[in-house]
Structure 1
Amino acid sequence: MERPEGDQVLLKIAYAGVNGGCETFRCRGSSYTPFVANQKAEKFVLGAEASGTVVAVGENVKCLKVGDAVTCSGSGGFAEFIVASAQSCFPVKEASAEAVVLTLSGLTAAVALKATGGPLKAGEHALVTAAGGATGHMGVQLALLAGCHVVAVCGSAAKAERLRDLGASRIINYREEDVGEVLRREYPEGIDVAYEGVGGPLRDAVLDNLSEHGRMLVVGYISEYPHVKPDDGEAQGSGGLPPSRELFWQRQTVKIGGRTIYGDVWSGASRQDIPAFRRELFDLYEDGQLKAWVDSRRFHGLEQVSDAIEYMLTGQAIGKVVVSF
């Protein structure tokens, strides 16, 4: 087993989170992403977020000790043990599945809605697509905590029921209602901020119904990921916007009149700001003000990682899909 050196720590992983964009594009080495080098790589790590326990530390590590529970990101969480930089680790009370939800999915929503497209204002109309998903349910709750009227868009009755329990102001099941028609009829002045992770026609429907000075945060575009559509060919934009993948991977910010569309939801915060956002997020969770949904489907061990990824990509999951170790 590899030993940690310098500012590294050795972690025993308890839970790893499944992240659709990270795993899909890292595996494929898609040419328009930072992962293109993976096409020729002999090996590369997968697993964008995990929780675990420190079992050894490098000689320069002062902030962590053996036995500490932590979460980590970007270190290859699909493993029983990993060596990670101490800087990538965040101390937590328990190395739980819920901690994994907060580590990246929750943090993404917090930075997007509190900094990049925010801060949200009480009374604003906020819309979240894929609202029953890992980062979507976080976006819904953070907007509610800010005093927004929250429109939650989802694709099943089961997700709608869970979102109703969270207190979402209006729930649109896009399999039963036309999102564009609902927004035009019920929100004639438009949506002030949209946290959008689906892409395709749904993105266009939301864009068409942004308010005069509305903001759209493009957190992903899962309806256009390679498991749905071929990974080759020219992607098409619409509604005056470039294609979703271009916005996302090139981290573009686009202005259409008074409206702003952010392809990089992290642009509002510096690296130095991230620990404070994460601490606030965990404080809200520990105080009971924020729920962290872990999907009920159980996966265990390295041999079930691919099953977990495939399941997440079906769109059936409610909350975060995790793998235990």
Structure 2
Amino acid sequence: MKFLNAGMSRFLLRLLAAHTARSEASLPRVHSVPSRSIIDLSYSTHFMDFKGSSIPSSMKKLVVTKLSQNFKEAVSLQTAPVPTPGDGELLVRNRYVGINASDINYSAGRYDPSVAPPFDIGFEGVGDVVGLGLSASANFTVGDTVAYMNNGAFAEYTVISAKKAIPVPAARPELLTLLVSGATAHIALQRLGELKEGDTVLVTAAAGGTGQFAVQFAKMAGCHVVGTCSSDEKAGFLKTIGCDRPINYKSEDLAATLRKEYPKGVDVVYESVGGSIFDLAVNNLATRGRMLVIGFISGYQSASGLQPVRGGTLPAKLLQKSASIRGFFLPHFTADYGKSLRSMQELLAKGRLVCEVDDGERGDGGRFVGLESVYRAVEYMYAGKNLGKVVVDLQPQNKSKL
């Protein structure tokens, strides 16, 4: 092998360096770009379009603009841009939204006094995924139907974290009954009720959104169930879901009936009314009885949010019976939520769980349709007219696949 002399070697190195410089100069310059969330556009040429079902640039939503327990006074219907989902989020076109007694507690700022208006409202919805971020596309795709529990549900479109989305086979209003109302009854009775076969369980507002589930879960546990309600129609419904003794307190004396028919008291009370009903329930607790306070709706429309109770004698009454009162607030039991929801979905699929929905059809104004009817739906519920869970239909005339 012959070796290049030193001069030739230096010449070739200079030639190579010059060629490399010219080549690099001919390439386009690369500029760094800031990181950003990526929207999954694989399903459509335009993000705001899917199979001819265009997503508008604006939408309607309900916003709390003034803190008040008066829902009409606190909440306004506004037009806002349709939000864009971030990397791990879904854009949901809402089909049904659920009405809860706590909606006016939220509009009054009772859950977080540090939050000032304006803020979105509504706890739960069922609808279709019409947009999503890249990370979210690992588990969801456009056209999926999901249920969710998330603030801001009273809107035509809502952005939620994909982690909070619950895949469901179809947008059915019955599914809304499980998210807050069903889960409250299921978890409260399991974790705090300590139900035993043969226990007597009193459910107040038994034909309401959460009461209907407390009746059924107590019956499934082998208990004797007593339920209070405000009409013969509701009493008839309660019998169909397993209530052993419905009591229409408008035609029967509730206190006298409980004293006469249950002289030893009741073992568990599922209480959501408050005020005088709370006092009556305390007086009718059995030895080692348990009262579960899941709400006190009779006071929500007052300035304080409470109706007075006879608290002065409460310690003595509990001591005399070794009884207890236990509060339940669903957000404190998030670790139980997923398992509870799966269990209820299985019962529903097997036909073992009734999920009664009230869409307002029996009321004077007809069905609750569109966001504007949320106001009427809240009034309807607080007037005690509902039988089951109150639900509003946001898209009754929608013809698209979404």
TM-score of the pair, normalised by structure 1: 0.87
Q: 2:97 aligns with which of 16, 26, 33?
A: 16
- Cα 1:34–1:300 change in 2 (3 A) is same
Tell me the residue number matched to 1:195. Answer: 270
For 1:273 and 1:186, locate their aligned partners in 2 and report how far apart those are by CA, in whole Å.
36
Equivalent position of 2:349 in the other structure = 286
- 2:189 aligned residue (113, 117, 122): 113
Distance 2:96 2:255 in 1: 38
Distance 1:166 1:87, change over 3 A: same
TM-aligned CA deviation for residue 272 of structure 1: 2.6
1:29-77 CA distance string (max 9 Å, x none): 2xxx224345x42x21111111111122222223333222211112311
Quick check: 2:299–2:306 contact (8 Å CA) kept in 1?
no
| Partner of residue 164, structure 2 | 88
Distance change in 2, residues 1:234/1:185 (3 Å): closer
Report if the CA contact (8 A) 1:190-1:210 is conserved: yes
Partner of 2:126: 51
Aligned counterpart, 1:146 = 221
**Does the 8 A contact of 1:207 with 1:239 survive in 2?**
no
**Percent of pairs with identical residues:** 40
2-structure distance, mates of 1:195, 1:121: 15
Does the 8 A contact of 2:187 with 2:336 survive in 1? no
Q: Compare relative contact order (CA 8 Å, sep 6+) and give the higher one, 1 or 2.
A: 1
> Counterparts of 1:110-259 in structure 2 under 5 Å?
110-118=186-194, 120-226=195-301, 230-232=302-304, 236-240=308-312, 256=319, 258-259=322-323
Q: Give CA deviations for 1:179-235 in whole Å, capped at 9, x if unaligned.
A: 222111111221111111111111111111111111111111111222xxx314986
Give the total of aligned pairs. Answer: 303
For structure 2, list consecutive stretches of 5 or more residues without a partner in the other structure.
Answer: 1-81, 361-366, 395-402
The structure having more radius of gyration, on CA atoms, is 2
Q: Is the 8 A contact 1:293 1:320 kept in 2?
A: yes
Q: Which residue of 1 aligns with 2:111?
A: 34
In structure 2, how many angstroms separate the alpha carbons of the residues matched to 1:234 and 1:136?
A: 20
2:380 paired residue among 291, 303, 311: 311
Are 1:179 and 1:202, in contact at CA under 8 Å, matched by a contact in 2?
Answer: no
Task: Note closer, same or farther for the CA distance 1:57–1:127 as it changes in structure 2 (3 Å cut).
Answer: same
**C-alpha separation between the residues in 2 aligned to 1:296 and 1:126?**
28
Residue of structure 2 in register with 1:3 after alignment: 84
Which whole-Å CA distance do the structure 1 matches of 2:261 and 2:223 have between them?
Answer: 16
Measure the CA separation in 2 of the matches of 1:241 and 1:17: 38
Instruction: State the distance in 1 between where 2:313 and 2:179 align.
Output: 30
SS of structure 2 residue aligned to 1:127: strand
Q: TM-score, structure 2 length as denominator?
A: 0.71
Question: How has the CA–CA distance of structure 1 residues 223 and 108 changed in structure 2, closer, same or farther, with 3 Å as cutoff?
Answer: same
Q: Is the 8 A contact 1:13 1:82 kept in 2?
A: yes
